[in-house]
Structure formats: C-alpha cells, structure tokens
Structure 1
Amino acid sequence: MPSRSQVQRLLAEGLDYEEAGHRLGVPAGQAFLIATGLPADGGDTLTTAEQHRPGMPRESTQHLANPPAVNPTCTDETRRWLRHRAVTDRPMRQAAEQWDARPKGDRAPGDVHELTAVLTRDHDRVTGLLKQLKALPGATKGGTGADLARREFVVALIAQALESHEPAEQRHLWPAVRAALGTGDRLADEALRQEHEGIGTLTALRETSADSEEFDELAEQLESQVRRHVAFEDAVFVRLRENLPQEDRERLGAEVVETWHSAPDVPHPHGRQD
C-alpha cells in the first residue's frame, strides 16, 4: 500500500491523481484517499478545514471515485484472441459444422388449429431464432467469419418466417380483431404500425454486411421490436379468445396454416440439405 508521503511527493512533482495512482498501482480515488484521508465522492459534505487539506484539488473529485468504465471485450486484441480460440478448438469446429438454426418440428402440427395457438407457436419459433442470433458473436464481439455467416443465415430464417407470418395476420387476424373487439381498429392499427417498423429494420439488416457494427446494432433493434410486438399480440389474443367463438378461431387458424405451406426454404450456410 503506498504511503501518504509517496502520493504527496508525486503531486508536488506536478502529477494529478490519475497519473500518481497509475505510477503507484492504485486507483486514482484510492490515491486521493491516501493523500487526504477523505473519500473522493464526499466533496459536497466537506468542512472548510477539510477543503484546505494538503493534496485537496480545487475542482470536483467525483471523477476520481467513478472513473470511466472500460469494456475489454471491444478491443482488437480481445477479438483476435477470440478468433484464434475458435479456430484452434477442434470440438468447437466440429459443433459448428453440425450447427443448424432451423427450428425443429412442424410449423403447425396437425393437432394445432386454433388461430391464436397457431400464431403463438410461430411467435415462439421466431423468438427462438432471435435467441440464437443474440448468442452468436457479431463483428463487435470478435465473431469469426463462420459466426457472421451463421448470423446472416439466422436473419434469413427470421425473414422467411415473417414474410409469411405478417401477411397471414394482415389477411386473417386483424380483420377478425377489428370485427370482434370494440377497440379492434385501434389495436389493429397499432399492430400494423409495429409490423411496418419491424419489417423496415429487417430489410435494413438484410442489406447490411454482417461484419459491420451497424449489422449488430440493427440485430439488437430487431430483437427489441419483435419482443415488444409479440407481447402486444399476446395481450390481443387473450381478448380475442374471450370474444370470438372457438369455431371461428379454428377456421381462421386453418386458413393461416394453408398460406404457409408454399413458403420456400432457406439454404443452409454450409450447403447442407436435410
């Protein structure tokens, strides 16, 4: 532990607390505490005598107690280390070769017919893809070329799902909401606004290179928008089940599923075909 005389000697040489602390191997706030016997974040409660202690600067010392945070995961050195570990780790490479983000199971099993159940299952598949997208490191977190290709693949899967999901809702769900609920017009209009916002982000994401910071920012934005939209629709589904007869919801659910059957598949990034 440095002594008070050591800190004060460095201050007398013209160093500030940041540099003095660096030379002595302690944080700037600790160097201030050693020199003055006072905490760096106590400036508003100092007495007149304390304000004139040796080593007391004229300006505020709050910055000494709360220095700017440094995130080491954003440095080039950290990214290079992560890439090296991923390339040299054989189990990781083998797992990557077997990786496939496509949701397992039928999009709409034969025992799922009711409209809100069909759409909720589809929501779960999309949010599952978003979890995978978030788990894969992007360019700003040291992602490898393979990681970035996988992120693009997941985005393509999300786009594939939404390209058939949203039109089906616009054709079958929201007209039913408008007709069945007293506030249906307002709810449908808000939902369509959210959908338009999310599709705009998704379009921008698909037009952006995965090795850019912008791609990572858009991916985070899309996740937030989709989660907010799903929560909004879940609340609408509760009211729809209370106000629209079961047989009507069964019929609409079957119509939604019918529109999905012709949706094209997305090729695997490594050329795999199941």
Structure 2
Amino acid sequence: MTSRSQVRRLLADGLGYEEAGRRLGVPAGKTFLIATGLPADGGGTLTTAEQHRPGMPGRSTEHLAGPPAVNPTSDDATRHWLRLRAVADGPMRRAARERGVRPEGERAPDDVRDLTDVLTHDHDRLTALVKQLQTLPGTGQGATEAQQRRGRAVADVLAGTPASHAPAERRGLWPLVREALDDGGRAADRALEQDDEEARTRAELRRTPPDDEDFDALAERVGAQVRRHIAFADAVFARLRETVPQDVRERLGAEVVRAWRDGPPPPGAQEAPP
C-alpha cells in the first residue's frame, strides 16, 4: 500500500502528482488524496488550514481527479467493432438499402405561393441533402464501401438538384432584386458569383470518387457554400418582403412553381438574362 511518506518524498524531489502517481502505480488523484487527505476534485470549500496542508499545490487540482479524456470513436478497435455490428444488423442494412436518396419533402406545397417562401422551401431541401452528406463518415474516418456508395449517391443528387433551383432564381429572383432594391445590382451580381462558384465545386465533387481523400474536403466546401448562399438569400428575402407587394411576390412564385412542374425547357431554349 502506498504511504503518505512515499508520496511526499517524491513531491519533495520536485515531482508532480502525475509523475509521482506513475512511479508508485497509483492514479494521480489518489496520490493527491494520500498526500493531503483531501479529494482532488476540489469539492466543498477548503478551510485556511486545509489550503496550507503539506503537498497542496498553488493551482487547481481538478485535472487530477478524472482519467484523461478519450474519444472512443477515434480508436481503430472501436471502429472495427462498430463495422462488425453494422454488418450483423440485418434490418438496419435492409432499411439502408431501401431508403432512397432524394431531397426531403414536397418541392412546392400548395400553401406556399410567395416567391421568397417558395425559394426558402427549396433551400431547406438543399440543406437536408448537405446534412445527409456530411453525417456520413468519410474515407479518412474509415467509411465502408456501402457508406462510400451512399455518399456518392447523395453527392450526385446534391449536384443535380440546383439544376432547376439556380435558373429559377436567375429568372424570377435576381431581376426583381435589381429592380426593387437600391443596391440590387450589386446584390444580384454577388449572388450570381456565389452560384457560379458553388456550381464549380458541385461539378468537381461529382467527378471525384468517394474513396478519394479530396471527396471529403469537397463535401465540406459544398456545405459551406450552400450555407453562405442561403444566409445571403435570406437577408435579401427580408428586404423584398418590405419593398415588393405581396401580389407581385406571389405571381413570381407561381411562375417558378409552374416552371418546376412543367420540367426543364427544351434543348436550345434561351434563358432570359439575369
């Protein structure tokens, strides 16, 4: 059994409680308790006499009380165990296979008419896809082949979904912004630059295999770009609701919804300039 004199002798030699405990084969918190008779977690209020007991350091001792923090999900053995459990779980594997990859919810519910609400609703669907992609483990996190395939499928849908969302904004939103807001031209130009940058990243993500280390970084970049686009659009929407009559917003919203339901324009059709 470790004695108080053993601990205090090591402390007198200049060792800290962690090193003293390591040499004695005793946890640091217990070493402190042996030396001082006090718990290392600092519970309660110490009297003046307790504060000056032999072995009391001049700083907090709470770090001695608990074991070092460990993240079990970063351990190779834990990841291997989780993979084995996932493979053995038949119902979960079947549910994963049957679950389709698609944006959540209806794109244009009947009770959503205002242009700003229509586009906000579609933004929510894009956000849900980004969350699906970013909750999947990446190659650097030990993703299984099934998880990589899932990531590929979500990335493809995420890359294709804005194919009709961005044109809707170019035809219905940004021309309105240019006309209705004092700084609308600058706002529209900035938004279109963001759209072009985001489109390039999505195209690069679509070309990158899911087992490539760049896939994870591209997925993170797409998520950041989508969030930036939505935050910027939300600020513009708030200003449009204050300056543009509701009937105008609803008319433009109906045009966007009708275009979505009718499908993309025929090949070779010219899109109106933003």
TM-score higher than 0.5: yes
Identity %: 57
Pairing of 1:135-146 with structure 2 (within 5 A)? 135-146=135-146
Q: Decide whether the 8 Å contact of 2:139 with 2:212 is kept in 1.
A: yes
- Secondary structure of the residue aligned to 1:147 is helix
Q: Which of the pair has more CA radius of gyration?
A: 2
* Compared CA separation, residues 233 and 86, structure 1 to 2 (3 A): same
Cα distance in 1 for residues equivalent to 2:33 and 2:192: 58
Name the stretch that deviates more: 95-104 or 106-115.
106-115
* Compared CA separation, residues 254 and 75, structure 1 to 2 (3 A): same
Aligned to 1:192: 192
Q: How many residues align?
A: 254
Could you tell me how far 1:236 is from its partner in structure 2? 1.5
Could you tell me how far 1:88 is from its partner in structure 2? 0.6
Name the stretch that deviates more: 5-14 or 161-170.
5-14
Cα distance in 1 for residues equivalent to 2:63 and 2:205: 38
Cα distance in 1 for residues equivalent to 2:100 and 2:20: 53
Q: Decide whether the 8 Å contact of 1:33 with 1:40 is kept in 2.
A: no
Aligned to 2:243: 243
Pairing of 1:1-274 with structure 2 (within 5 A)? 3-8=3-8, 17-22=17-22, 24-26=25-27, 28=28, 31=31, 35=35, 69-103=69-103, 106-109=106-109, 112-211=112-211, 214-257=214-257, 259-260=259-260, 261-262=263-264
Stretches of structure 2 lacking an aligned partner (at least 5 in a row): 43-50, 266-274
Could you tell me how far 1:117 is from its partner in structure 2? 2.2
* Compared CA separation, residues 229 and 54, structure 1 to 2 (3 A): same
Cα distance in 2 for residues equivalent to 1:250 and 1:143: 45
Cα distance in 2 for residues equivalent to 1:196 and 1:4: 70
What is the identity, as a one-letter code, of the residue corresponding to 2:133?
L
What is the identity, as a one-letter code, of the residue corresponding to 1:188?
A
Cα distance in 2 for residues equivalent to 1:4 and 1:200: 67
Stretches of structure 1 lacking an aligned partner (at least 5 in a row): 42-49, 264-274
Cα distance in 1 for residues equivalent to 2:66 and 2:223: 32
Cα distance in 2 for residues equivalent to 1:37 and 1:190: 66
Cα distance in 1 for residues equivalent to 2:63 and 2:135: 35
For residues 103-128 of structure 1, give each alpha carbon's deviation from its aligned partner in whole angstroms, at most 9, with x where no partner exists. 35542345544321221121111112
* Compared CA separation, residues 37 and 207, structure 1 to 2 (3 A): farther
Could you tell me how far 1:83 is from its partner in structure 2? 1.0
Cα distance in 2 for residues equivalent to 1:68 and 1:186: 53
Name the stretch that deviates more: 220-229 or 175-184.
220-229
TM-score (norm. length: structure 2)? 0.70
TM-score (norm. length: structure 1)? 0.70
